[in-house]
Amino acid sequence: MLLDLQGVEKTYPGADAPVLRGVSLRLAAGDMLALTGESGSGKSTLLHLAGGLDTADAGRVALAGTDLTGLSDAARAGLRRTTVGVIFQQFNLIPSLDVAANIAFQARLAGRHDPDKTAALAARLGLSAHLRKYPEQLSGGQQQRVAIARTLAAAPQLVLADEPTGNLDESTADGVFDLLCDLVAETGAGLVLVTHSTRLAAKLPRRAHLHAGVLT
């Protein structure tokens, strides 16, 4: 099992109520899950726990067979670097690096940089003509494509996407969403994709809904 959450609970300091209440979720390699829910329901928190970006107060989170409970920050970071790829709504590109360097960045950290793979991903994502440009010179849709390429170039086993099309217009969002799903499917990685769009969520084979910290 690639991702295994059992009875996960999370409460932030000063909060009146838990963000997550006993959430359980399992994801195998190749599974693709859309996670929906209203604002504040705990979607991003669940994603952060799944990727080892945060720790649960109770319950168990296992990633690629490794129980994250009790791991040091450094150990979780090491596992995350080689196992997980995260795509953010805000793109999080490095402004001082051109497109080619941004795409290669995560792969270099994971020790998996492959120039041929980087070039092939750039071509699939329509970025070949933009490799020497900087993020500020790109449209929002192009920046999100760079973020997708950066994530997939590192060959993660698990891709976590947090509202990856939330900043894009509907037409651009559809194209980016479909391309992301196609590319992830080709790698055999697992995908958990947070989206506010029930229309986009319906395109994925598995769907789950968070309401008040409970998974339905």
The CATH number of the domain holding residue 190 is 3.40.50.300
pLDDT tens per residue, range 188-199? 999 999 998 889
Provide the number of structural domains found in the chain.
Answer: 1
pLDDT higher than threshold 90 for residue 172:
no
pLDDT tens per residue, range 29-49? 999 999 999 988 999 999 999
- What's the pLDDT at 16? 86
Domain of 108 in residue numbering reads as 3-215
**Cβ-Cβ contacts under 8 Å for 190 (sequence gap 6 or more):** 2, 3, 27, 28, 29, 30, 31, 32, 33, 157, 158, 159
- What's the pLDDT at 23? 97
Q: Which residues of 39-59 are buried (b: 16+ CB within 10 A; e: fewer)?
A: eebbbbbbbbbbbbbbebeeb
- What's the rounded Cα separation, in Å, for the pair 185 and 179? 10
pLDDT tens per residue, range 4-20? 999 999 999 988 889 99
pLDDT higher than threshold 90 for residue 137:
yes
Nearest to 55 by CA among 1, 88, 9: 9
- What's the rounded Cα separation, in Å, for the pair 7 and 112? 34
- What's the pLDDT at 156? 95
pLDDT tens per residue, range 50-102? 999 999 999 999 999 999 988 999 999 999 999 999 998 888 999 999 999 99
- What's the pLDDT at 104? 95
